[in-house]
Structure 1
Amino acid sequence: MKRAFDITFSSLALVLLAPLLLFTAFLIKLDSKGPVLFKQSRVGVNNEDFTIFKFRTMRIDTENKNLLTLGDNDKRITKQGFFLRKYKIDELPQLINILLGDMSFVGPRPELRHYVNYYSESDQDILSVKPGLTGLASLKYRNEPEVLKLAENPELFYIQTIMPDKLKINKEYIQNRSFFMDLKILSQTFIKIVFD
């Protein structure tokens, strides 16, 4: 049922949002040099890597300088990038990932291999389900870059504080997940994006 939902609504969303996607691509090309899409390797279900798609929000050749984004102070982000990130428009190309079967609408957010390498054996349970466009941990840490920019050592703070909490939330999701729970998470995500 979940896969049928993902295929149906990712296809529908790509068609309905086509004007927005094209307009966003146009703005990105006007704003800075480089490709429209940002592609990055992430860890998916069964601990297998896949390529995630996003609209590019950073200047080219700067994403490798720091794996974490540090809020409004991050000089790598383009002018349009701040807006795209705030309203999660940069995440819309992941509808392609959902259609391809790499991701689902709801699930743990796909992590970089660098951080998955810190997972304990029990944390590997997170990789038993497809990663999601949104999830409970995503809702809690919607403003994660703003939190990280206040940390003395953002990388260490993420690994020691934020990531363990995300793992705990994601494990609870996996244990209690249902189709209706996914619908609730999707509606909460929409409300937060529009009204926060």
Structure 2
Amino acid sequence: MLREWDDLPRFMKCEEVREYYNILAQKKTSLRLKRGFDLVVSGIMLVVLAIPMAFIAVVIKLDSKGPVFYRQERVTAYGKKFRIHKFRTMVDNADKIGAAVTVDDDSRITRIGAKLRNLRFDELPQVFDVLAGDMSFVGTRPEAVKYVEQYKPEFNATLLMPAGITSEASIRYKDECKLLDAAGKVDEVYVNQVLPKKMKWNLESIRKFGVFREILTIFRTVFAVLGKDYS
């Protein structure tokens, strides 16, 4: 739930964030409905997806060495750090031999990992993070700590709510890997060019926040995975 303004972390208590805080402060009922939706749907999904997820886990182990899950530290509401659950789609310790973002022809991606990424099945374990309250179905994608440390003050407004599995920005930038493919300095291009464009969508989603709007985003995500272009 939305904290009182005085209880926000110091780095978030600025005029740039205040605008978005005031918007959400008028929508506390919608925020409660959002959390209720997350709990109910993630619980159902965990039951329905238990067997498919177990099958994917076995395939990952057979395909390459390393753990089933990728547990990189990410940032969610109010700057809280947590270890995200994702199916591992890259070689073990990939984050130590390359950038925190991935390009389209990244040599670190495994054979099975490429298929999981295309279908976004690597995101399925994040239902555990939704149940725990670290994530929501819809919200700003959780960034790596080193990127959050470079946020402009206004970007911190996205930390007023939990990070999300999907978002309008994610839909528009579903081919982010291709955009970064030709970049010489991937991290630099991501922070200075890609991230600001994604943040425009994320901040606009806060301005227009509503539960039914978020449900529409979920449906748009499904259509995007099936091939529809929203760019």
Name the TM-score, length of structure 2 as normaliser: 0.82
Displacement of 1:128? 0.7
Who is 1:139 aligned against? 171
Who is 2:6 aligned against? none
Contact 1:105 1:132 in 2 (8 A): yes
- Structure 2 CA distance, aligned partners of 1:62 and 1:188? 30
Unmatched runs of 5 consecutive residues or more in structure 1: none
Displacement of 1:14? 1.1
Q: What secondary structure sits across from 1:33 in the alignment? A: coil
Unmatched runs of 5 consecutive residues or more in structure 2: 1-32
Who is 2:29 aligned against? none
Question: Matches of residues 149-168 of structure 1 in structure 2 within 5 Å?
Answer: 149-168=181-200
Deviations 1:145-183 (A, max 9, x none): 111002233222111111011111111101111001001
Verify: 1:105 aligned to 2:167, yes or no. no
Residue type matched to 2:224 in 1?
A: K
Verify: 1:68 aligned to 2:68, yes or no. no
- Structure 2 CA distance, aligned partners of 1:42 and 1:141? 19
Give the paired residue count. 195
Displacement of 1:63? 2.1
Question: Matches of residues 34-45 of structure 1 in structure 2 within 5 Å?
Answer: 34-45=66-77
Contact 1:126 1:171 in 2 (8 A): yes
Residue type matched to 1:54 in 2?
A: K
Question: Matches of residues 1-196 of structure 1 in structure 2 within 5 Å?
Answer: 1-66=33-98, 67-71=100-104, 73-196=105-228
Q: What secondary structure sits across from 1:17 in the alignment? A: helix
Displacement of 1:48? 1.0
Contact 1:63 1:76 in 2 (8 A): no
Residue type matched to 1:158 in 2?
A: Y
Q: What secondary structure sits across from 1:187 in the alignment? A: helix
Q: Percent sequence identity over matched residues? A: 38
Name the TM-score, length of structure 1 as normaliser: 0.96
> Which of 1 and 2 has greater Rg?
2
Who is 2:13 aligned against? none
- Structure 2 CA distance, aligned partners of 1:32 and 1:146? 24
- Structure 1 CA distance, aligned partners of 2:215 and 2:86? 23
Cα RMSD (Å) of the superposition?
A: 1.0
